[in-house]
Amino acid sequence: MPFTTLGLSDPLLRAIADAGYTTPSPIQAQAIPAVLNGHDVLAAAQTGTGKTAGFTLPILHRLSQKSYDKNRPVRVLILTPTRELAAQIGESVSKYGAHLHPRLKSEVVFGGVKINPQMMRLRGGVDILVATPGRLLDLVSQNAVKLDQVETLILDEADRMLDMGFIRDIRKIIAVLPKKRQNLLFSATFSEDIRKLTTGLLVNPIKIEVAPRNTAAELVEQLVYLTNKTDKTALLCHLIKTNDWQQVLVFTTTKHGANRLTEKLNTANIKAAAIHGNKSQGARTSALAGFKAGEIRVLVATDVAARGIDIALLPHVINFELPKVSEDYVHRIGRTGRAGEEGQAISLVSHDEVNALRQVEKLIGKSIPREQIAGFEASAIAPPMPPEPPRGPRPQRNNQPSRRSPQQR
Ligand code: AMP
């Protein structure tokens, strides 16, 4: 189904073409017509499904169809948990609205930075405001922004906002909005708290559920390169250079490991930056921006740091070391595979990680093909590692009789 059938105006279709999208993702195919028709929407969707365009495009369409109030009151309010997500949504609003005439005004506000410049920017009025809840409340209480003309409220990543303790702020914000409005709620998970929030907020919502972002079993091609610990850096450089990878996310287990690897990559003329808990917010933001802009080819991240930031999906994710906790493997490889396209997750595995590899395979329920690259093969100090078939749940350790059939006994 092409985008042209969804009812979006020409300037938006041009922006979609500029972005290089040819077909709507499943969430877009469902959300765009629902939002255009003014429905409330409850969507179970994670980052990577194309949900941002799924709500931004129809909202821009609706706003641009109506006449402008010269005071530019906020008509669309988008709440989101983190500054990175807020900035990303702000960029999407600008990108998709680039061909609209007159242009819609949008602003992004979040905490952790000075409030005064934000107050100044809001003075002339904005049509679309993207905000983190705490900072928005501060701005409201200082009369820097009024929310009494909001026509559409969007809660993006609602589960993360609740996890981050924003529920009271969200409720306070909702209390100052007009009663009659359109509400859209996006959440990856549906806990009891989210359910409570949605009841009373959404009126006869259209419910949309799309497959979670690439699960280990689908879309992501997984591969293990067996090698020696001491050869991993050289192997990584070799892979990046011979495959001409331009955007690679590499996971290490420690902050020190991330720093060391970043230095070595830079020495090998592969532009790299590290993000981890010891880096300042500024350093992380600039590393991420450089990575997105293509100035930094390799982003080296620890698990915790990677979870806190929103990185668009990438073609290649490398596990320089396997994670200590197998579940992190699934989070890591979920970073690859763009909306509907295949991604590749490669793990560099040395002898000491064989057990970790088996744990991962047990968790994902399948074995990962093992390969070796000429010149970087695992040396034969340990026996060559055969593929490990997935095992079922562990037998219970009690004195119950064995479940094997009589023939097997
Ligand atoms: P999101 O889930 O909104 O964070 O989007 C994930 C990624 O998919 C972003 O990098 C978008 O630019 C990209 N994307 C969104 N919609 C489409 C589409 N219809 N076709 C291809 N890529 C898309």
CATH of the domain at 236: 3.40.50.300
Residues whose CB is less than 8 angstroms from the CB of residue 169 and which lie 6 or more positions away in sequence, other chains included: 133, 134, 136, 137
Q: What is the pLDDT of residues 27-54, one digit of tens each?
A: 999 999 999 999 999 998 877 788 999 9
The three-state secondary structure class of 289 is helix
Residue 378 forms part of a structural domain: no
Predicted TM-score of the model (pTM)? 0.61
Q: Does residue 56 lie within any of the structural domains?
A: yes
Q: Are residues 141 and 188 in the same domain?
A: yes
What pLDDT score does 381 carry? Answer: 58
pLDDT at 114 over 60: yes
Residues 118 and 239 in one domain: no
Pocket test for ligand 1, best of 3, 4, 5, 25 (most atoms within 8 A of CB): 25
In sequence order, what DSSP letters do the residues of 4-21 get, joined into one string?
Answer: GGG---HHHHHHHHHHT-
The pLDDT value recorded for residue 386 is 55
Our answer on whether the CB atom of 25 is closer than 6 Å to any ligand 1 atom is yes
Mean pLDDT throughout 356-360?
A: 92
Residue 274's contacts (CB-CB under 8 Å, 6 or more residues apart) are: 255, 258, 259, 261, 262, 287, 299, 300, 301
What are residue 237's phi and psi, to 5 degrees? -60, -45
- The pLDDT assigned to 407 comes to 36
Q: Separation of 35 CA from ligand 1 center, angstroms? A: 18
Least confident of 59-63, 289-293, 328-332: 328-332
State whether 182 and 267 are in the same domain. no
Do residues 267 and 315 both lie within one domain?
yes
Angle between helices 232-243 and 255-267 (to 10 degrees): 50
Same domain, residue pair 245 and 323: yes
Q: How many domains does the chain have?
A: 2
| Same domain (yes/no): 202, 270 | no
Residue 397 lies in a domain: no
Is residue 232 a part of any domain in this protein? yes
Q: Could you tell me which residues come within 8 angstroms of residue 133 by beta carbon, excluding any fewer than 6 positions away?
A: 79, 161, 166, 169, 170, 173
Among 152, 187, 209, the domain boundary falls at 209
Find the domain containing 294 and state its range. 220-371
Q: Is the CB of 48 within 6 Å of ligand 1?
A: yes
Residue 280, pLDDT score = 78
354-364 and 326-333 helices, crossing angle to 10°? 70
Higher pLDDT, 343 or 250: 250
Judgement on whether residues 199 and 228 belong to the same structural domain of the protein: no
Tell me what pLDDT residue 144 has.
Answer: 97
Please check whether residue 387 lies inside any domain of the structure. no
Give domain status of residue 288, yes or no: yes
Rounded mean pLDDT of 129-151?
97
> Of 165, 188, 209, which marks where a domain is finished?
209
Which H/E stretch holds residue 207? Answer: strand 206-209
Of 172, 175, 106, 87, nearest in space to 137 by CA: 172
Q: Of 180, 209, 238, which marks where a domain is finished?
A: 209
| pLDDT (mean) for 307-317 | 71
Q: Is the CB of 47 under 6 A from ligand 1?
A: yes
Render pLDDT for 204-227 as a digit per residue (tens, 0 to 9): 999 998 755 445 446 688 999 999
Chain centre to alpha carbon of residue 116: 30
pLDDT per residue as tens digits for the range 76-98: 999 999 888 899 999 999 999 99
Is position 145 within any domain? Answer: yes
Q: Identify whether residues 225 and 200 lie together within a single domain.
A: no
Give distance in angstroms: CA of 112 to centre of ligand 1: 28
Instruction: Using the mean position of ligand 1's atoms as its centre, give its distance from the Cα of residue 49 in Å.
Output: 6
Q: Identify whether 393 is preceded by a cis peptide bond (ω within 30 of 0).
A: no
Most informative mutation of 313, 314, 341, 342 for ligand 1 (most atoms within 8 A of CB): 313
pLDDT mean across residues, the chain: 87
pLDDT at 106 over 80: yes
Task: Note whether residue 380 is domain-resident.
Answer: no
Our mutation pick for probing the ligand 1 site, out of 13, 52, 208, 213, counting the most ligand atoms within 8 A of Cβ, is 52
